[in-house]
Amino acid sequence: MFVIKCPYCGERDQTEFSCHGESHIARPENPNEVNDKEWGEYLFFRSNPKGIHYERWTHDHGCRQWFNVKRHTVTDKIIQTYTMGESKPEDNNV
């Protein structure tokens, strides 16, 4: 079980949060202009790395805010948490 540092509330138990999958996936600006392949990639295809993963969490039983987590998927170690809208941190300091 993780201890997650909510950027707004500080460290809390994982059971207060839910995970919503990979972050930094941009919705195509003009959905009508992309083809089926591009739209399918956007909707369903994920990087699912064995290594550093950037993901979205919400603090459901706290401030109810969305934020990002940078985590290693083998050790489950949380490397960093940061707010929505901040740009993706580098893949360093594992």
Partner 1 sequence: MKYSLLNLVRNSFSYHENWQEAWSSPELKKEYDIIIVGGGGHGLGTAYYLAKEFGLKNIAVLEKGWIGGGNTGRNTTIIRSNYLWDESAALYNHAVNLWEGLSSELNYNVMFSQRGLFHLAHTVHDMQEITRRGYSNHLNGIDAEILDKEQVLKKIPYINGDGRYPIMGALLQRRGGTARHDAVAWGYARAAENLGVDIIQNCEVKGINITNGTVTGLETTRGSVKAKKVGLVPAGHSSVLANMAGFHLPINSVPLQALVSEPIKPILDCVIMSNAVHVYVSQSDKGEIVVGAGSDAYNSYSQRGSFDMIEHIMGPLVELFPIFSRLKMLRQWGGIVDVTPDRSPIIGKTPVENLFINCGWGTGGFKATPGSAHTFAETVATGEPSKMAAPFSIDRHYSGALVDEAAAAAVAH
Where does this chain bind partner 1 (CB under 8 A)?
1-2, 14-15, 18-19, 21-22, 36-37, 39-41, 43-50, 53, 55, 71, 73-76
Question: In whole angstroms, what separates CA 71 from the centre of its chain?
Answer: 9
CB nearer to Zn ion: give 5 or 72. 5
CA 93, CA 1: separation in Å to the nearest integer? 22
Count of residues that bind Zn ion according to CB under 5 A? 6
For the chain, the farthest-separated pair of C-alpha atoms sits apart, in whole angstroms, at 43
CA angle 69, 75, 79 (to 5 degrees): 30
CB nearer to partner 1: give 15 or 83. 15
| Gap between the terminal Cα atoms of the chain | 19
Q: How far is the CB of 45 from Zn ion (least distance, A)?
A: 30
CB nearer to partner 1: give 73 or 80. 73
89: burial class by Cβ within 10 Å (0-12, 13-18, 19+)?
A: middle
Site string for Zn ion, 47-86 (x = CB under 5 A): ------------x--xx-----------------------
